[in-house]
Chains A and B, each alone.
Chain A
Amino acid sequence: MKFRLSMLLACVCLVALAGGAHAIDTGVAFDDPELQARYERLTDEVRCLKCQNQTIRDSNAFLAADLRREIRRLIAEGRSDDEIKDFLVARYGEFALYRPRMSGKTLVLWIAPLVLVIVGIVVIVRVVRGRMSMPLDDDGQREGP
C-alpha cells in the first residue's frame, strides 16, 4: 500500500473529531458584530485542507488557525467576501470552499436538484394520466391501512 500522508493526517483529525474537539480562537475576533458575523460565516464555508471534512472554524489543525488568521487580516484590510474567497481559491483551488461557486463546471451541481424535480413531475404526470383511464375495480388485495 503506497504511503499516504493523508492517512496520517486523517488519523490525527479523527482522533480530534472523536472527542468532539473544536478549534477555538483566542477570544472573539472582531468587536464589530457585523465583521464578526462575516468572519464566522467565512470560516464556516472554508474547508480545512488538512482535516478535509471540517471547516477551518472547527478544525484544530494549525493550518486552520493560520487560515483563520489570514481571513481576519483580510477582513480587517477591508476586503470583500468575494475577494477573500478568490484569495483562498488562487492558492488552494475551488476545493477550499465548502460551497462550490457557480461556474461552468459546478453549474451541473446546482441545477441538478431542479432538473430531477422536473423529471419527477414528468414521471408523475405520465403515470397518473395513464392510470386515470384504467378500471378502478380490481380483484382487491388485502385491506391495507
Chain B
Amino acid sequence: MPWLAGTALIHSLAVTEKRGLFKSWTLLLAISAFSLSLLGTFLVRSGILVSVHAFATDPARGIFILAFLCVVIGGALSLYAWRAPALDSDAGFRPLSRETFLLLNNVLLVIATALILGGTLSPLIYEAFDWGKISIGPPWFEIAFAIPMVPLVYLVGVGMHTAWRQQPWRALARQLRVPALVAIVAGLAVPALFYGRMGLLLVTGCIAGFWLLAVALVQPVRSWRRSPGTAGMTRAALGMSIAHFGVGLFTLGVTIVSAFTVEQDVSMTPGEQVAVAGYQFELRELREIDGPNYRATEATVEVRQDGEFVTTLRPQKRTYRVQQSPMTEAGIDAGWHRDVFVALGDPLGNDAWSVRIQYKPLIRFIWLGAFIMALGGMVAASDRRYREPAAASERATGLAGETA
C-alpha cells in the first residue's frame, strides 16, 4: 500500500512541480504513503489480523502504536482538512494532456490502494459489526487489483508521450502507431509460438507488457538518432523511460508466470524418471546427511531437456534437531527464461517419496523489472535540476508564492 501511494505521489509531484496543480492530491498522497507504512506496523504487531507477516503480536503494544497513529495520522489529516482548501490554483489543461493522464494515474493507484486496504480490513470490520466471519484471500485480491491496474498499464504508455496542457491527438497517434503494432503482434505471437496457448487475460497481459517495452523505447531511440546539435533527453526523461520499461518487464513476467506455471506432485523411487513441462527429472539417489544443526534426507535429481543435461538439483527434507520440525529445502535452477523447482514431500514407504516439481517461466522478469524500475528512479533523481543551487532557490520562491 505505501508503495502504491508512493508511486502515485511521485507522479502527482510532477504535475505540482510543472504547473502548480494537484497540490492537495500530492499532499494527501504524501500523508497517505507514510500513514500506510505506520498502519502496516500496527497491523502486524497488534495481533488484530491473521497474517504470515504478523510477529511478536501483543495487544498491549498495539494500543501504544494505535495511539501513535492517532496523533500522527489524525494530526496530519486534520491539518490537511484545514489548510488544503487554500491550495487551489487557476491553471488549466485540455482533456487530452499529460495532466489528465496523471490524474488518471492518481485515481487508479488510489483505487488499487483503497481496495487492498479495504480487503485487508474487511474481515475485521465485518466482525466488529457482527456480520459474521468472512474470508478474503488471493482469489479476491487478484481480481480486485487487476481491475484498476490493467487499464493503468495501458494508459502509462499513452500518458508518457502526451504533452503538458494540450496534446494534438494526431501527433500522438502517429508516435504510438508503431509501438502499438509491435505490442499487438508480439502480444499475440509470443504466447502462441513460445508457449502454445492463448487466452483473453493472457493476451491482454502480454500486449500490455510489450506495449510498455515498445513505448518506453520511443523517446530514447529518437534521441539516439537525432541530428547532432539538437537537445538529447534529460536524465529525468531517460529515467522515466527506463522505469516504464521495467514496468513492462514486470508485467510480462507476471502474465507469463500466472498463465504457464506448471506444478505437479509425483511419487518417485530412486532410478525413476518423470517428465514435467518438457523437462525430464530423474531421481538418482537418496541419502541421509548430517548438517550443523539438522539431519536431512537429500535427493539427487538430474534434470534434462530433450535428452540434454541441464543441471543436478539436490532438494532436502530437513529435521532441525532442537525444534524437531520438518523443513523443506528446495532445489532451484534459476534462469532468465524460467525457474525449475524440485522439493521433497513425504516418504511414502518402500523407498518412494512424493516430490513436487514446478516450472515457472519468466519469473525472474518480475525481479528484473523491479530492479530496472529502481534504476530508472535513480537515473531520474540524478537529473541536473535537483543539483543546481541557483535553480533550487528560484524553485523554492516560486512554490512559496503559490501557496499564499
Direct contact of A and B (CB under 8 A): yes
Query: Which A residues lie at the B interface, using CB under 8 A?
Result: 1, 6-7, 10, 12, 14-28, 45, 47, 52-53, 60, 93-100, 105-106, 109-110, 112-114, 116-117, 120, 123-124, 127-128, 131-136, 138-139, 141-145
Partner of A20, one of B17, B122, B343, B385: B343
Q: Is the CB of B111 within 8 A of A120?
A: yes
Q: Is the CB of B103 within 8 A of A136?
A: no
Partner of A132, one of B18, B19, B59, B95: B95
In angstroms, Cα B267 to Cα A26, docked, is 7
Chain B residues, CB < 8 A from A16: 325-327
Q: Is the CB of B135 within 8 A of A124?
A: no
Partner of B323, one of A15, A109, A133, A135: A15
CB distance from B158 to the nearest CB of A (A): 15
Does B290 sit within 8 A of A, measured CB to CB? no
Q: Is the CB of B354 within 8 A of A15?
A: no
Interface centre among B52, B122, B166, B264 (most CB of A within 10 A): B52
Does B321 sit within 8 A of A, measured CB to CB? no
Does B172 sit within 8 A of A, measured CB to CB? no
Chain A residues, CB < 8 A from B345: 22-25
Q: Is the CB of A98 within 8 A of B328?
A: no
Q: Is the CB of A105 within 8 A of B134?
A: yes
Does B192 sit within 8 A of A, measured CB to CB? no
CB distance from B274 to the nearest CB of A (A): 11
Q: Is the CB of B58 within 8 A of A1?
A: yes
In angstroms, Cα B240 to Cα A45, docked, is 39
Chain B residues, CB < 8 A from A47: 135, 137
CB-CB nearest in chain A for B25: A127
Q: Is the CB of B51 within 8 A of A53?
A: yes
Known: A98-B137, A135-B90. Is A112-B118 also a contact (CB below 8 A)? Answer: yes
CB-CB nearest in chain A for B233: A145
Does B270 sit within 8 A of A, measured CB to CB? no
Partner of A145, one of B55, B89, B240: B240
Does B360 sit within 8 A of A, measured CB to CB? no
In angstroms, Cα B316 to Cα A21, docked, is 11
Q: Is the CB of A132 within 8 A of B325?
A: no
In angstroms, Cα B140 to Cα A15, docked, is 26
Q: Is the CB of A100 within 8 A of B136?
A: yes
Q: Is the CB of A106 within 8 A of B330?
A: no
* Closest CB pairs A-B (n = 3): A134-B92, A24-B345, A19-B327
Per-position 1/0 for B140-179, Cβ under 8 A of A:
1001100110000000000000001110000000000000
CB-CB nearest in chain A for B348: A26
Chain B residues, CB < 8 A from A141: 17-20, 395, 398-399
Partner of B59, one of A1, A25, A144: A1
Query: Which B residues lie at the A interface, using CB under 8 A?
Result: 14, 17-21, 50-52, 54-55, 57-60, 89-95, 99-100, 103-104, 107-108, 110-111, 114-115, 118-119, 122, 126, 131-140, 143-144, 147-148, 164-166, 234, 236-237, 239-240, 264-267, 318, 323, 325-330, 343, 345-346, 348, 354-356, 380, 385, 391, 395, 398-399
Q: A-B contact count, CB below 8 Å?
A: 186
Given contacts A131-B93, A141-B399, 16 further A-B contacts (CB under 8 A): A19-B318, A24-B343, A25-B265, A53-B51, A112-B115, A112-B118, A120-B107, A132-B94, A133-B92, A136-B166, A138-B19, A139-B398, A141-B18, A142-B18, A142-B398, A144-B17
Partner of B328, one of A20, A127, A139: A20
- Residue pairs across A and B with Cβ atoms less than 8 A apart, 23 shown, are A1-B60, A12-B325, A15-B323, A15-B325, A15-B327, A19-B329, A20-B330, A22-B328, A22-B356, A24-B356, A25-B345, A94-B135, A95-B134, A98-B137, A114-B147, A116-B148, A120-B148, A123-B107, A124-B104, A138-B90, A141-B18, A141-B398, A144-B18
Chain A residues, CB < 8 A from B327: 15-16, 18-19, 21
Q: Is the CB of B93 within 8 A of A136?
A: yes
In angstroms, Cα B140 to Cα A44, docked, is 13
CB distance from B40 to the nearest CB of A (A): 16
Chain B residues, CB < 8 A from A98: 135, 137-139
CB distance from B33 to the nearest CB of A (A): 19
CB-CB nearest in chain A for B100: A128
In angstroms, Cα B92 to Cα A135, docked, is 5
In angstroms, Cα B51 to Cα A10, docked, is 9
In angstroms, Cα B126 to Cα A138, docked, is 49
Q: Is the CB of A28 within 8 A of B265?
A: yes
CB-CB nearest in chain A for B219: A145
Partner of B343, one of A22, A96, A106: A22
CB-CB nearest in chain B for A122: B107
